[in-house]
């Protein structure tokens, strides 16, 4: 109860100091509630006694919280100022502050696994991850997505794994750790073995590579022949992993055509960011809870974004989010493809139809949450305001340590970009 009062108090204080204009705000409800509450107190002559009481609570709360911060957060000044800036109780409550758009599945089905399964998975995966051949995988996957891919793959237990976008082969290695005896097909313009000359790389012994001079794009492979070659009769037993920075709508259509049902996309980039059109972008729609944007420069979203831009590298401000004619969908009204080498303007209507199409083939949509909160991992890139709550929440330092996460280098937590798992089927079925 006390906790509730405290958190309401500091949140509304923050809202009052930040927002003086009343518009289509996500904090308007809190604001008007506070105002009404204060008015009521003034009317009933309870204002001053109440203020003293709140002051007392405030001091107690600072005392309690600063003790927590001392044990939980390292001494990096930046991290301290980040959290102080967003309020005393802002440690985990800021997750999803600016909305977390989701794609709706046809029948509202969700994944079978729970947070408990994920936590157990992390504990198992940390020692595996520590044996990875490529220690420094800059431009490739870090810990969060490696865990996500490993966990999803182990759960699905596919008979064939397909990977598009291998780079030095780290994700091939992750797939191999998840399923030691399952064949892999890997598509990448440059063969991972090329990287062996310069340093660490992973080439798998049971993997068919379409790489180097043998490279074929996912959309051009004769999948019927490949299935026969690997003795796979049921295509719903195939898992496809995309980390090739291609328009995800294009990849979805190709995967549906080939009859695949389990798809994992590494980079489910947020609206206004990234080098390819993503599902998150497609489903960032006004009719989806947490979706849609206001390009109003004096609006609350603009104000909150400007502040968050100062603290989180991947946060975008309203100028970066909104293009000509207030086009905010995709990246400034553009559908990006192929590492931003191709860029096509789309109308809002087209964008809207894309989300409708995606939802018509979706059985399950699940975004991997960050493995642990930023006060634990010290990551500085993704903005919690656009992300769901982490598996290990801020403040759970004991759990973080117990799972072995504390022994990993900080840099491995810097690559989170909302990996997403999709289960799809043609709309007719």
Ligand X SMILES: C[S@@+](CC[C@H](N)C(=O)[O-])C[C@H]1O[C@@H](n2cnc3c(N)ncnc32)[C@H](O)[C@@H]1O
- Residue from 43, 70, 198, 205 touching ligand NAG (CB under 6 A): that is 205
Contacts of 185 (CB under 8 A, 6+ apart): 160, 161, 162, 163, 207, 208, 210, 226, 230
Nearest approach in angstroms of CB 241 to ligand X is 8
Residue 158 partner contact from ligand X, ligand NAG, none using kind-dependent CB cut-offs of 5 to 8 Å: none
Q: Of 31 and 252, which has the nearer Cβ to ligand X?
A: 252
Q: Does 181 bind ligand NAG (CB under 6 A)?
A: yes
Q: Of 124 and 338, which has the nearer Cβ to ligand X?
A: 338
Residue 165 partner contact from ligand NAG, ligand X, none using kind-dependent CB cut-offs of 5 to 8 Å: ligand X
CB 277, CB 248: distance < 8 Å: yes
Nearest approach in angstroms of CB 273 to ligand NAG is 9
Q: Does 340 bind ligand NAG (CB under 6 A)?
A: yes
Q: Of 84 and 340, which has the nearer Cβ to ligand NAG?
A: 340
Residue 181 partner contact from ligand NAG, ligand X, none using kind-dependent CB cut-offs of 5 to 8 Å: ligand NAG
Q: How many residues make contact with ligand X (CB under 6 A)?
A: 19
Residues 226-255 within binding reach of ligand X (CB under 6 A): 243-246
Q: Where are the alpha helices (DSSP H) in 160-299?
A: 170-178, 223-229, 248-258, 279-283
- Residue from 3, 217, 234, 313 touching ligand X (CB under 6 A): that is 217
Q: Of 203 and 392, which has the nearer Cβ to ligand NAG?
A: 203
Q: Of 42 and 206, which has the nearer Cβ to ligand NAG?
A: 206
- Convert the chain into a string of H (helix), E (strand) and C (coil): CHHHHHHHHHHHHHHHHHCCCCCCCCCHHHHHHHHHHHHHHHHCCCHHHHHHHHHHHHHHHHHHHHHHHHHHCCCCHHHHHHHHHCCCCHHHHCCCCCCCCCCCCCCCCCCCCCHHHHHHHHHHHHHHHCCCCCCCCCCCCCHHHHHHHHHHHHHHCCCEEEEECCCCCHHHHHHHHHCCCCCEEEEECCCHHHHHHCCCCCCCCCEEEEEHHHCCCHHHCCHHHHHHHCCCCCHHHEEEEECCCCCHHHHHHHHHHHCCCEEEECCCCCCCCCCCCCHHHHHCCCCCCCCCCCCCCCCHHHHHHHHHHCCCCCCCCHHHHCCHHHCCCCECCEEEECCCCEEEECCHHHHHHHHHHHHHHEEEEEECCCCECHHHHCCCCCCHHHCCCCCECCCCHHHHHHCCHHHCCHHHHCCCCCCEEEEECCCCC
Q: Does 177 bind ligand NAG (CB under 6 A)?
A: no
Q: Does 324 bind ligand NAG (CB under 6 A)?
A: no
Residue 370 partner contact from ligand X, ligand NAG, none using kind-dependent CB cut-offs of 5 to 8 Å: none
Q: Does 171 bind ligand X (CB under 6 A)?
A: yes
In angstroms, the CA 165 to CA 300 distance is 39
Residues 111-170 within binding reach of ligand X (CB under 6 A): 137, 139-141, 164-167, 170
The bridge status of strand 160-164 relative to strand 238-242 is parallel
- Residue from 343, 388, 389, 425 touching ligand NAG (CB under 6 A): that is 343
Nearest approach in angstroms of CB 97 to ligand X is 29
Q: Of 246 and 281, which has the nearer Cβ to ligand X?
A: 246
Q: Does 291 bind ligand X (CB under 6 A)?
A: no
What are the C-alpha distances in Å from 220 to residues 187, 215, 251, 252, 331?
Answer: 11, 10, 11, 14, 27
Q: Of 97 and 141, which has the nearer Cβ to ligand X?
A: 141
Nearest approach in angstroms of CB 244 to ligand X is 4
Q: Of 263 and 362, which has the nearer Cβ to ligand X?
A: 263
Q: Does 206 bind ligand NAG (CB under 6 A)?
A: yes
Nearest approach in angstroms of CB 339 to ligand NAG is 8
Q: Of 183 and 395, which has the nearer Cβ to ligand NAG?
A: 183
Q: Does 204 bind ligand X (CB under 6 A)?
A: no
Residues 245-284, one symbol each (x = binds ligand NAG by CB under 6 A, - = not), give: ----------------------------------------
The residues that touch ligand X, with contacts defined as CB under 6 A, are 137, 139-141, 164-167, 170-171, 187-190, 217, 243-246
User: What does the binding site for ligand NAG look like in residue numbers (CB under 6 A)?
Assistant: 181, 205-206, 340, 343
């Amino acid at each position: 109860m006390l906790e509730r009062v405290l958190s309401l108090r500091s949140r509304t204080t923050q809202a009052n100091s930040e927002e003086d204009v009343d518009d289509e705000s996500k904090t308007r409800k809190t604001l008007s509630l506070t105002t009404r509450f204060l008015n009521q107190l003034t009317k009933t002559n309870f204002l001053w006694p109440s203020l003293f009481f709140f002051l007392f609570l405030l001091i107690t709360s600072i005392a309690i919280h600063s003790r927590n911060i001392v044990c939980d957060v390292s001494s990096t000044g930046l991290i301290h100022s980040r959290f102080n800036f967003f309020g005393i109780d802002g440690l985990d409550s800021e997750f999803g502050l600016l909305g977390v758009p989701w794609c709706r599945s046809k029948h509202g089905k969700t994944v079978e696994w729970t947070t408990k399964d994920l936590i157990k998975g992390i504990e198992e995966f940390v020692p595996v991850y520590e044996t990875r051949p490529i220690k420094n995988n800059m431009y490739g996957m870090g810990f969060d997505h490696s865990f996500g891919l490993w966990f999803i793959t182990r759960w699905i237990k596919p008979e064939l794994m397909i990977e598009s976008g291998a780079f030095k082969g780290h994700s091939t290695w992750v797939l191999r750790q998840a399923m030691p005896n399952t064949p892999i097909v890997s598509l990448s313009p440059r063969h991972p073995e090329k990287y062996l000359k310069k340093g660490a790389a992973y080439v798998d012994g049971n993997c068919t590579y379409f790489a180097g001079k043998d490279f074929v794009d996912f959309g051009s492979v004769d999948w019927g022949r490949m299935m026969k070659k690997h003795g796979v009769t049921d295509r719903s037993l195939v898992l496809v992993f995309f980390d090739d920075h291609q328009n995800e709508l294009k990849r979805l259509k190709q995967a549906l055509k080939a009859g695949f049902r389990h798809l994992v996309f590494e980079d489910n980039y947020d609206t206004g960011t990234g080098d390819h059109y993503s599902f998150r972008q497609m489903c960032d729609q006004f009719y989806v809870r947490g979706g849609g944007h206001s390009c109003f420069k004096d609006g609350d979203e603009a104000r909150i974004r400007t502040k968050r831009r100062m603290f989180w590298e991947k946060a975008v401000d309203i100028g970066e989010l909104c293009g000509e004619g207030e086009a905010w969908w995709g990246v400034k009204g553009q559908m990006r493809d192929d590492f931003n080498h191709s860029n096509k303007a789309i109308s809002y209507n087209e964008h809207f139809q894309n989300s409708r199409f995606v939802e018509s083939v979706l059985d399950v949509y699940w975004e991997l949450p960050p493995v642990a909160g930023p006060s634990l991992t010290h990551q500085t890139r993704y903005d919690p305001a656009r992300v769901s709550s982490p598996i290990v929440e801020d403040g759970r330092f004991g759990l973080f340590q117990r799972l072995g996460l504390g022994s990993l280098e900080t840099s491995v937590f810097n690559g989170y970009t909302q990996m997403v798992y999709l289960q799809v089927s043609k709309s007719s079925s």
